[in-house]
Amino acid sequence: MAAMPEGARALRGVWVFDPEKSSFVGAIPYRSGTYTFRNTPEGVHVTAHIIEGTGQTLHFEYTDPMKGSFVPVRGNPFYDSQATEWTNPRTATRTERRGEQIIGVTTMTVAADGKSYTANARRTLPNGRVYTSVIVWNRLGA
């Protein structure tokens, strides 16, 4: 297995959406959500299961080789590929594309105590509407 950035190791595990600490502008807040980050020989495998405020269920997955290159995202209606680059040991920036067009950027910062991470995003939806969000995810378990 290739060496993972410190942040990739810090993200390993299961994370749950914290509605009390999160905010959405231009979009309805999530009802619930879970992200799982699992380190594999190919990179970090990410699985997301989100129930949007409208009740729509999103389930998407991708494996990021941690090289800053775009990889396919399966099941996400908003973006079909992503590339993640670690800018420091606790902060990563994910660039999201639909086709060849960049439609969003999400900056993920792991808290110093490792118990949460915050995802700051700005994204253009398929209907052309832009929204921003600050989503806090709490680590589930130790």
Assign domain 6-139 to its CATH architecture.
Beta Barrel (2.40)
Tens-level pLDDT at each residue, the chain (142 residues)? 455 666 667 889 999 999 999 999 998 899 999 999 999 999 899 999 999 999 999 999 999 988 889 999 999 999 999 999 988 888 999 999 999 999 999 999 999 999 999 999 999 988 999 999 999 999 998 6
- Residue spans of the domains in the chain: they are 6-139
Q: What is the pTM assigned to this prediction? A: 0.90
* Residue entry with tokens 């231009």: 26
Write down the pLDDT at residue 1.
Answer: 45
